[in-house]
Amino acid sequence: MAKESITRGNASQFFVAGELCRRGYSAVVTLGNTPNTDILCSNLEGTKFVHIQVKTFKPGN
């Protein structure tokens, strides 16, 4: 069950980062190396930055 949870979390992070890139932002997945931050995101000019934490939900729980 723990492996499924980790896999779901990683997939969710990459999905969110991909959507941000598709919408014109620069996004980098931290792969757990930064506390409280899953994705670092900025505009393409690099003038504004945000730290994003992704939460997942499994229906039925």
Q: What is d(CA 25, CA 38) in angstroms, rounded to the nearest whole number?
A: 15
Tokens of 40: 């670092």
Greatest alpha-carbon pair distance for the chain in Å reads 42
> DSSP characters for 3-52?
HHHHHHHHHHHHHHHHHHHHTTEEEEE-TT-STT-SEEEEETTSS-EEEE
pLDDT in tens, 20-37: 999 999 999 998 788 999
pLDDT at 6: 86
Q: In a structure prediction context, what are the per-residue pLDDT tens digits for the chain, which is 61 residues long?
A: 678 888 998 999 999 999 999 999 999 999 878 899 999 999 999 999 999 999 988 888 6
